Amino acid sequence: MDGILLVYKEKGMTSFDVVFKLRKMLNQKKIGHSGTLDPEAEGVMLIFLGNATKLLPYIEDSDKEYIATMKLGVQTFSDDIHSEVIAEKPITEIIDFDAVLQSFKGKQKQYPPMVSSIKVNGKKLQEYARKNIAVERPLRDVEFYHLETLDAKEMRFKVHCSSGTYIRSLCVDIAHKTNNLGCMTSLIRTKVGRFTIEDCFKLSDIEKGQFKILDKSVVLEHLPKVKLLNPLDAYHGKRIKIQTPHDMVVIQDDICIAIYRRENGDIFRSERGLW
């Protein structure tokens, strides 16, 4: 089975749990996903099956949209409400929540949570955190394309952001900017690229056989397609002369055969076979 499966991850399971269950349900050995969701978060996951796993480094649909809520007055071990409180502080009222939210629009530097899979010296930050080992977190470049207040009183908001952004960290940063402590209380991923929560299937649906596999080519629509007089050259991974202004192309026959990248001049080399 090759292709893309859009899954609605429910609360109470890790992203690894979803992959593990799908591997058994679909009797699928090769399986991957394009972005982790925390155990208590829910929403869209892109699952790559079979040869589609080869496409993970090339997808353009990597930006995310979330709906989140947060609370003030407490700092937690994981930066969300689902772990122990490690500090408390009287709340400073936020007069204009939307103005604070909009101040994060654009490119930002962000510290990832200590409870995260970001690696420092070969180990995940969460490994250091759980052993109480102090380590410097790497600042990461992120971008917020759109932020929208949904309920200022409840501090519920929508965020469209770049891949790799932590909404838990955004909640902490919002609190810090207003002289508060704070943490995230809920998170729903509503979109990954152009794929929405309405497109997704729950694990219970998939278990009943009620799902649809998208062709793997849907995540390559941003790359130009090239057809060859002799497609066997691409099947065999040979260097090919192509006249195109693009530095990366998909060689296509009846199916997507391979991804080719410009090597020198009009000569392209095979970067990834897809069949």
Other C-beta atoms within 10 Å of 192: how many?
25
Q: Which helix (H) or strand (E) holds 43?
A: strand 42-49
Task: Please provide the DSSP assignment of 214-243 as one string.
Answer: BPGGGGGTTSPEE--SSTHHHHTT--EE--
CA-based diameter of the chain, in Å? 71
- Please identify every residue annotated as catalytic: 38
Other C-beta atoms within 10 Å of 146: how many?
11
| Structure token digits, residue 17 | 């749990």
CA distance 250 to 76: 46
CA distance 223 to 220: 6
DSSP-based three-state secondary structure for 128 = helix
CA distance 166 to 185: 13
* Residues 13, 18, 24: CA angle, nearest 5 degrees: 130
